[in-house]
Amino acid sequence: MRQVSLPIYPVTYPTGFRLNQNESQFPVPTRLHEQLSTLSFHDLHEYPVQPIDELFRRYAAYAGVEPNQLLVGCGSDEMIHVVTQALLSPEDVVLSPNPDFALYPIFTTIAHGRHVQTDGLSFDALVSSVEYYAPKLLLLSNPNNPTGKLWTVAELSDLAARVPYLVVDEAYIDFTPDASMISHLDAFPNVIVLRTLSKAFGLANVRLGFMVTTTELAAYFRQFVPPFNISGVSAKIANVFLQDSSYLDEAIAWHAEMRDKWSSLLATIGQVHPAKANFLYVTLDEPESIWSHLATNGIHTSRQSNGIRVTLGTEQALLATKRALMTWSPVSQP
């Protein structure tokens, strides 16, 4: 048995407003509920060939690529797992910014690699770390989770030229598609883009994520993915959303409206970082005190080292948070 000490991801469902998981709060339109109710499940005894083929076609059309440039998995988490397993040899270095998505070091360790992080989120710090550590794989989220920082295409292009492989986790890129690296894959055959339907599409329960890369790399990675690794039921649900011409625009518009409202509220307690995602990061003088106070009032946020990350909630959640903050007072100093 390997001697590892990996954190076990806490899956909890606290009572109140769950603003700590970056789950979409956008209410699914009635028309889609009606379409979902018409799905047929006569084929539950079959392996899901047709629904998955359709999913590849529909998502490829949405992403502007060919179906043979895609892999699909159980969330983008599975795609991170595939990339690290397929590319890393023992002790290969994976570099990420700090902070970034908590699962990167976990999957690196599972693949016998060594995960290191930069000191901060500046581009210069990332370049210096690349030069110092010479990583085989540079793995980062764009926009950054948890801060919402957006790396530019120019910065990512520069980084792609410095490392053997660049993996850009675009879990939240649907909110700002012009910043995607997908349209630049021809220029950078070492770039691997990860996507998900859990965020802007609001389908976290469906558990579908994608890898988008060159046809050559996709063919290589496909060897590491078992057949029928996703549910046909999930694929059918996703296909309903992907073929709706206005759903995503409606979801993005709703999040933009709520982002303005949440930014105004959270600016009363700390520095709100600019972001185009379904969350906001707030730097606080007393993050532990505010996080604890909100949790006591049934408002659950993601606790960070110098602040909190808050999922954009509904009007009801916004009002509850406003009321809770009105009863919070700073911890008295000795």
Task: Read off the pLDDT of residues 114-162 as tens digits, 9 standing for 90 and up.
Answer: 999 999 999 999 999 999 999 999 999 999 999 999 999 999 999 999 9
For residue 115, the cross-strand partners are: 94
How does pLDDT run across 280-326, given as a tens digit for each residue?
A: 999 999 999 999 999 999 999 999 999 999 999 999 999 999 999 99
Please give the pLDDT value at position 302: 96
Report the range of poorest mean pLDDT among 11-15, 44-48, 92-96: 11-15
- 284, 308 contact by CB (below 8 A): yes
For residue 191, the cross-strand partners are: 166
- 136, 94 contact by CB (below 8 A): yes
The structure's pTM equals: 0.96
Is the Cα torsion angle 160, 143, 96, 102 positive or negative in sign? negative
> Checking DSSP bridges between strand 279-283 and strand 271-272, what pairing results, if any?
antiparallel
> 99: cis peptide before it, omega within 30°?
yes
How does pLDDT run across 157-206, given as a tens digit for each residue?
A: 999 999 999 999 999 999 999 999 999 999 999 999 999 999 999 999 99
- For residue 210, the tally of other CB atoms under 10 A from its CB is 25
DSSP 3-state of 141: strand
Rounded to 5 degrees, what are φ and ψ at 52? -70, -40
- Grade residue 275 by pLDDT with cuts at 50, 70 and 90: very high
- Grade residue 58 by pLDDT with cuts at 50, 70 and 90: very high
Please give the pLDDT value at position 27: 96
Q: What is the rounded distance in angstroms from the CA atom of residue 62 to the CA atom of residue 294?
A: 38
Q: How far is CA 240 from CA 201, 244, 255, 325, in A?
A: 11, 7, 21, 40
Q: What is the rounded distance in angstroms from the CA atom of residue 137 to the CA atom of residue 70?
A: 20
- Grade residue 334 by pLDDT with cuts at 50, 70 and 90: very low
Mean pLDDT for all residues in the chain: 96
> Checking DSSP bridges between strand 279-283 and strand 307-311, what pairing results, if any?
antiparallel
Question: In sequence order, what are the residues at sequence separation of 6 or more whose Cβ sits closer than 8 angstroms to the Cβ of residue 274?
Answer: 148
Structure tokens at 51: 């629904």
Look at residue 268 and tell me whether its pLDDT is greater than 80: yes
- Grade residue 331 by pLDDT with cuts at 50, 70 and 90: low
Residue 171's H or E segment, with its range, is none
Q: Is 279 left (phi over 0), alpha (psi -120 to 50) or beta?
A: beta
DSSP 3-state of 2: coil
Please give the pLDDT value at position 2: 84
Q: How far is CA 105 from CA 30, 101, 173, 198, in A?
A: 40, 9, 22, 21
Angle at 74 between CA 139 and CA 217, to 5 degrees: 50
Residue among 77, 126, 130 at smallest CA distance from 104? 77
Q: What is the rounded distance in angstroms from the CA atom of residue 290 to the CA atom of residue 54?
A: 46
Residue 321's H or E segment, with its range, is helix 315-326
- Grade residue 5 by pLDDT with cuts at 50, 70 and 90: confident
Residue listed under structure tokens 């690290």: 84
